[in-house]
Chain A
């Protein structure tokens, strides 16, 4: 125990002296399992809409950024305990989350959530509906008439529909669209689109007001000169909502 502890401390101390006067790095937390927002590409790096937006924001705010992956379940606890400085993980701005962390203005307009089932007639109103744990979609289903089954990852929610465990999956339309397209008719959109949340924003610690202002300014400038719209079209297609 002692040697391990001191070993760890020694590493940390050594790092202290080596990097004490280095420039600050902003650590960007993401899930890496929610294409097109964020995913791991073939080379093993974080990729997607949020990676591109995030990198551009860091350039504009003149910050050095580094991407970090974290489980969705513990993504907020690790932010508030300062293991990274921001969350860019397709996280919708909601009142509940806003009590714990702060959000920048949204960099993705309020999202439409949609139901996907294996057949046209699937019962999304009163049947069994799958959603990812601790998402606005899970909250929405829990309040409605359908039975909610929760899964830790988005992948599992869709798998539940494919194997018949759930009648439908309820998630961001943009996450589901490529899957429906690639399924060759096995999966189809059912029911109406439901607008939920206040758009996707970057999550920050409530005490981190300075960083929040920098990113807010950078997002504003990206909205104004149209770069954000170009990225939205690139990742979500021509029909997506723009600023």
Chain B
């Protein structure tokens, strides 16, 4: 990157480092941090929506809907994440391609499954074989979001389901006494009050989600851990201008700082959110706030 970088062997430590840390690969490494943060920012709300939907379905009065919600929670929570990421994603991808194949190539006569191979017509490929690598990456990103949301949504659904049952029955009865419909009671009394019970559990999930991102490499997304392992690995002088020994420790140390920073930041934000949510609630936290304000 800098003009003096043409012959790194001759440089003093600091200048050597400044060259080393600005190579093309290192920019891919820095970019992967943004990628991870981006995927978290998209996945968290989607997973929360899945969780909310799952919890609503699970406590539904309509039996099949309730079975569906409870089944979703139980099955997804029981399947190991790595199995989900290795097999479910490939199945999902093939499912999309199969649907497109049915729609776009009705005249196709060859079998889609040939032994181990999965073959759809070229127009049904997702993304198309001719698409640039960026589209493939965006598609993998989308698959990752769906899979993460599905997995973490099931855990979130369980947390929210529990939180909804933790809201004191007396609160709901008061609503009934005022003549509110079940729908009004759900949206105006139950939902605003259940968050205070749900947030601690959801914050745990969020922390786990942050640390689950290395699974992304199974989908071909080069995340921070992949790059740390790749860049930190031993480099011999034959294949790079910057040979070094096993530096994975230093790279993983940088990741440690990154993850601790993420944890610290989210703890702060969630603490504030919790303060806001407890206000006026019939919980010990809400009671303490009320007394503190009165004093």
Contacts and interface: CB of A to CB of B under 8 A. Distances in A.
A41 to B, nearest CB: 7
B222 A82 contact: no
B129 interface: yes
A153 B226 CA distance: 11
Interface stretch (A70-78, A113-121, A139-147, A164-172): A70-78
Interface residues of A, number: 59
B156 interface: no
A60 interface: no
Given A27-B129, A207-B119, A36 B238 contact: yes
A195 interface: no
Nearest to B239: A35
Contact of A68 (B94, B133, B239): B133
A101 B117 CA distance: 9
A12 interface: yes
A4 B46 contact: yes
Contact of B114 (A24, A100, A207): A207
B23 interface: yes
Q: Which of A16, A36, A45, A80 has the most CB of B within 10 A?
A: A16
Given A81-B93, A162-B246, A68 B220 contact: yes
Interface in B72-117: 86, 90, 93-94, 96-97, 114-117
B119 A82 contact: yes
Interface in B112-136: 114-120, 122-123, 125-131, 133, 135-136
Interface in B232-288: 233-234, 236-243, 246, 248
A43 interface: yes
A181 interface: yes
A15 B131 contact: yes
Contacts of A36: 238-239
B145 interface: yes
A224 interface: no
A226 interface: no
A206 interface: yes
Interface in A64-112: 66, 68-71, 73-74, 77-78, 80-83, 85, 100-101
Residue from A8, A32, A35 whose CB has the most chain B CB atoms within 10 Å = A8
B42 to A, nearest CB: 8
B149 interface: yes
Contacts of A192: none
A100 B86 CA distance: 17
Given A33-B230, A44-B25, A45-B24, A1 B149 contact: yes
Nearest to B237: A182
B85 to A, nearest CB: 9
Nearest to A48: B239
A116 B93 CA distance: 42
A44 B220 contact: no
A208 B116 CA distance: 12
Contact of A42 (B86, B130, B218, B240): B240
Nearest to B27: A44
Q: Which 9 A-B pairs have the closest CB atoms?
A: A43-B24, A8-B142, A44-B24, A155-B233, A182-B236, A22-B130, A44-B25, A178-B236, A42-B23
26 contacts: A1-B46, A1-B149, A4-B149, A7-B142, A8-B139, A8-B146, A12-B135, A16-B128, A20-B128, A23-B130, A25-B130, A35-B238, A40-B25, A45-B24, A69-B222, A71-B217, A73-B218, A74-B218, A78-B90, A81-B94, A85-B129, A155-B248, A182-B237, A205-B119, A206-B114, A207-B115
Interface of B: 23-25, 27-28, 42, 46, 49-50, 86, 90, 93-94, 96-97, 114-120, 122-123, 125-131, 133, 135-136, 138-139, 142-143, 145-146, 149, 217-218, 220, 222, 229-230, 233-234, 236-243, 246, 248
